[in-house]
Amino acid sequence: MNIKPIHTNVVVKPKKEDDITKSGIILPGSSEKERPEQGEVVAVGEGKLLDDGKRAPMSVKVGDNVMFKKYSPDEVSIDGEDYLIVAEGDIIAILK
């Protein structure tokens, strides 16, 4: 992947939803059309530019699994792969 987000943007690889739940229930095909709310961070911007000219550090890093607002990301396709561009402020949690 060859993309570098700017400012406080983050590139996320969306997590694929399982077709079968832990209890063995098979989910219908329509579940694939739901927008993802979780994914893995694959690139981060350099951070917000502060008034003194320094950059505020980003709160996420490459490799973090994050949860974000469902309808906030922009969808992009790079080299045939689907990614989401999420503003750092729309990331609501880092999953451990």
Higher pLDDT, 93 or 28: 93
What's the CATH code of the domain at 76?
2.30.33.40
Q: What is the DSSP letter of 38?
A: E
For the chain, count helices (H), then strands (E): 0, 6
- State pLDDT tens for residues 22-69: 677 766 665 556 677 899 999 999 999 999 999 999 999 999 999 999
Give the pTM: 0.80
pLDDT of res. 16: 76
Q: How many independent structural domains does the chain possess? A: 1
pLDDT of res. 15: 86
Structure tokens belonging to residue 93: 């949690």
Residue 24 lies in a domain: no
Structure tokens belonging to residue 32: 């694939």
Task: Please say whether the beta carbons of 53 and 81 come within 8 A.
Answer: no
Containing structural domain, residue 91: 9-16+34-95
Residue 69 lies in a domain: yes
Residue 29 lies in a domain: no
Residue 59 lies in a domain: yes
How far apart CA 92 and CA 51 sit, in angstroms, is: 25
Question: In which band, very low, low, confident or very high, does the pLDDT at 87 lie, cut at 50, 70 and 90?
Answer: very high
